[in-house]
Structure 1
């Protein structure tokens, strides 16, 4: 530590990039504070008089006075009338004690704490899971991204201005944790008409995403150490949500028709919930037939189970009309329905919802209120008007037509450029196409080669919970134009053939 004040040390610290956006007196104050915290200035060390330091630094005396005044108020220095300003002795003692504790915890000087150190068991599970990495920019052939360049932003902005004008300061306050009533009514109307659901606005819970809905299900429906049934292969976000809640994931195999209900009936794990994607199984794209939907409902009713129905991508069905959702067929109120606007509108909206059996609404609403309170009211009320005025249905219809044409381009490009490498699995809808690799091709190697060519290949094998994993990719196409699909496919084919 310094026993005399070193002006050169202060001048060097004043040039730190972190201080450059501050006012001059704040720069001096922060620089001195940093030197004290780092132990570079000894406790009890006398600081230069404000007049002297001001002259040395070439600044006004008031500037230094303001810096010293703030340091004094914060307890970093003491000021003695007629004597001067000194580094606080008490702060120095505490800093030395904290440094000794850090050294003891780390074992040796200069070592860093291991990432994840000090976490609870649940915290370690979350840390080790690596989280979920959302795609933040359009890139071939990333999944989960809709077309956003044609979104009617002018309409959205006009409706948002209307909301601000009509509701004024009210939308700036806290909102209902369950969701704004106009939006809950609009969602219920849409689901009843378009998805064959049977629900009221009182059963809707507006959330930020399907992922948040899954987290709530994991917390409220499955105890730590208890089993939860998931499709195999299946959505990794669901698997991570339940695993980090310390539930035991039990995989239930799917076939060309979706989840095997015979395996559900044969399960004796004691699980009280099953997570399914019946309208468009993730990642195979299978649509669960009516007979199996009814079997699923009866199984849940007979054994007191919950069915968590993730109806993702159901709006984008290209061969005939989509099958009615399981929730609308369930007369026993054992189905929890999950939906999102991230794919139908845009992911930055951060808006999803649940349709809950009546007896679960309050519990889920209370839990949501403890997580993040509510979804921003301005966005909720704007979306409500977007739906009420018919813009939502019109946009979905336009996107369905656009995505169908892009899917055709994608299927043709795979057949034309990758016919000896991978085979596309035909699906009736969705925003991505599963592809299975031909014998002799490695999923890991193709992903690495594609990355070198600027192409992203989401792997299939990671979505399997069992030892038997199929090698392949899940290729997203919805956010790419026909020209972008063709160009990316040519780059991919060239990269894979030039090993």
Structure 2
């Protein structure tokens, strides 16, 4: 390509898809800047006069003038009165060398591609993990999605307007990193009444999500290279959060009674933290027995350790009364309780919380203040009123009944249409169904076939550590109507049996 100015090259760059949302003068400026950086225009090259270029492009002279002014401000061109506009001669040796092809940029090899170049060791590890993907639309059978189409938006909007009226400009300022006091009081009351917790408002830390809580736990309780014990199989989001903080995750097997505390006691990794989902183990649905709950708390006090209890969907228990949380039976105050409103209300709310032992509150609050400051005040104050006026418990009761009905629909549909392919467990609660593939069926192949039918099958094997991995799926159903569940199971059956 010639190093002189070419009108057609400029037009081509202006038509790049990423420039289309910009104004005309921005498109001209960005296109010229790209040509200079790419070496398509040499330092010292004279640019067309603004009037001539405007005529060639079919735009006003002011449009080109604005583009040139910005290029001059950014030091890409110099404008000489009576002489014209030129690509700056002194762009720098490095830039000119690269632009003219005299020096090549370094190449990177290995597992990381150019997008991860220049990262720290921790950064490369996070990049290579691929992060955690959240489903952003209702689709069969994405996990962790509640029913959002039945959310009482009218009530929520009314309460938000009232909060704005009562608090006025105060909600526009920075908030307390620990969380708005009205919401902390509402959460503490709810946990005490509904989950059997022993907690006060002063122990509550309001956050954006459970993942943020997990990341804080890894940062504050475990040094880089140290171990955290996790259920096997277990929650992938927790594993990613711990590994991002350079902690090592050590698997502890799960059976029908939850995490095996005998293996916990046999661990020799030196871990002082264990992550558990005792009320509804993720993904098996097992409920941790009372004997093991007590054994878990004894392990914590004997080892000077911490129990990280994720009570992610305990509100949705369909058979009998839900068991009390571990925090409520922990006489030694070694339990850090995590909760979220993403499952009970809607994922876009982005409000979670921790119930912390008193001695940890300040440290976790300081760490949170560094991470992202605080959760938006208007959302906290609206949610506090939503809870205080009884709308929260009313909504949870309605959703509990709805999800129980949908659980029956999906279990019947699996039995009727996927017999011989999978065996579905019947969890006592939760928003998803674990399904184990029959012998001869490949998890990867079933996922591939389902995708051709527009069905998402979250695989089970990725949730297991070690070589022994159970093949199967984890089917989320809570966000789907009965008709959508039936239709999706039929489509899945057809795609697998073809």
Normalising to structure 2: TM-score of the pair? 0.93
The aligned residue for residue 340 of structure 2 is 340
Instruction: Check 1:17–1:445 CA distance in 2 against 1; reply closer, same or farther (3 A cut).
Output: closer
SS in 2 for 1:369: helix
Deviations 1:75-126 (A, max 9, x none): 2222223333222111265521454696141399xxx964433322222221
**Partners in 2 of 1:101 and 1:398 — Cα distance?**
69
Distance in 2 between the 1:369 and 1:15 partners?
Answer: 44
Write the distance in 2 (CA, Å) between the matches of 1:436 and 1:211: 27
Task: Identify the residue that residue 75 of structure 2 maps to in structure 1.
Answer: 75
1:314 aligned onto 2:327: no
Please state how far the C-alpha of 1:203 moved relative to its aligned partner.
0.9
SS of residue paired to 2:470: coil
Question: Who is 1:329 aligned against?
Answer: 329
Whether 1:391 and 2:391 are equivalent positions in the alignment is yes
Could you say what the CA RMSD is over the residues aligned between the two structures, in angstroms? 2.3
Is 2:145 the partner of 1:145? yes
3-state SS in 2 of match to 1:331: coil
Where 1:106 maps in the other structure, the secondary structure is coil
Q: 1:437 to 1:171 in 2, by over 3 A?
A: same
1:258, distance to aligned residue in structure 2 (A): 0.5
State the TM-score, normalized to the length of structure 1.
0.93
The corresponding residue for 1:404 is 404
CA contact (8 A) 1:317 1:428 kept: yes
Q: Distance in 1 between matches of 2:339 and 2:279?
A: 12
Matched residue, 1:492:
492
Structure 1 stretch displaced more, 146-155 or 452-461: 452-461
User: 2:119 aligned with 1:119, yes or no?
Assistant: yes
Aligned to 1:246: 246
Cα–Cα, structure 1 residues 360 and 448, in superposed 2: closer, same or farther, change >3 Å? Answer: same
Deviation of 1:342 after TM superposition, in Å, equals 0.8
- Counterparts of 1:309 and 1:254, CA distance in 2: 15
Deviations 1:169-228 (A, max 9, x none): 222222111111111111111101110111111111111111111111111111122121
> Separation in 2 of the partners of 1:147 and 1:102?
56
Q: Deviations over 1:351-392 (max 9, x none)?
A: 111111111111111111222221111211111111111110
State the match for 1:425 in structure 2: 425
> Is the alpha carbon distance of 1:238 and 1:49 closer, same or farther for their aligned partners in structure 2, counting shifts above 3 Å?
closer
| Aligned counterparts of 1:227 and 1:333: Cα–Cα separation in 2 | 21
CA offsets per residue over residues 117-160 of structure 1, 9 Å max, x none? Answer: 33222222212211111111222222111111101111111111
How many residue pairs were aligned?
A: 495
Q: Secondary structure at the match of 1:414?
A: helix
Instruction: Call closer, same or farther: CA 1:398–1:244 in 2, change over 3 Å.
Output: same
After superposition, the C-alpha distances for 1:245-300 in whole angstroms (9 at most, x for unaligned) are 22222111111110111222222221101111110011111111212111111121
Q: 1:298 corresponds to which residue? A: 298
Distance in 2, Cα, partners of 1:451 & 1:9: 41
For structure 1, the residue ranges without an aligned partner over 5 or more in a row are none
Confirm or deny: 8 A CA contact 1:406 1:482 kept in the other structure: yes
Once the two structures are overlaid, the 10-residue window that deviates more, 50-59 or 399-408, is: 50-59
Q: Which residue of 1 aligns with 2:85?
A: 85
Structure 2: how far apart are the matches of 1:19 and 1:493?
45
Larger mean CA deviation between 9-18 and 286-295 belongs to 9-18
For 1:252 and 1:13, locate their aligned partners in 2 and report how far apart those are by CA, in whole Å.
56
- Mark the runs of 5 or more structure 2 residues left unpaired by the alignment: none
- Partners of 1:439 and 1:298 in 2: CA distance: 40
Superposed CA deviations along residues 397-445 of structure 1, whole A, max 9, x for unmatched, are 0000000111111111222222222222122111111122222222222
**For structure 1, which segment, 6-15 or 231-240, has the greater mean C-alpha deviation from structure 2 after superposition?**
6-15
